[in-house]
Structure 1
Amino acid sequence: MNEAEIWKKIEHFFEVNFQTEKNPPIETILFLIGVQELGSGQQKFTKDDKVNLIHIAVCRLLEAFGYYKFSHYDNDGFPHFEELEKLPDLKPNEQQLLMKKAIIQYFQDEEIELT
Structure 2
Amino acid sequence: MHEEQRSFDGTLVAVSYISTLVSLLIIPILIWVIKRDEGGETEQGLRDVMNYGISYSIYLAISSLLMIVLIGFVTTPLIGLALVIFSICGAVKTAGGERWRPPFVLNLL
Structure number with greater Rg is: 2
Query: What TM-score do the two structures reach when normalised by structure 2?
Result: 0.29
Structure 1 or 2: larger helix share? 2
TM-score (norm 1): 0.28
Q: Greater relative contact order (Cα 8 A, min sep 6): structure 1 or 2?
A: 2
Larger strand proportion of the pair: 1
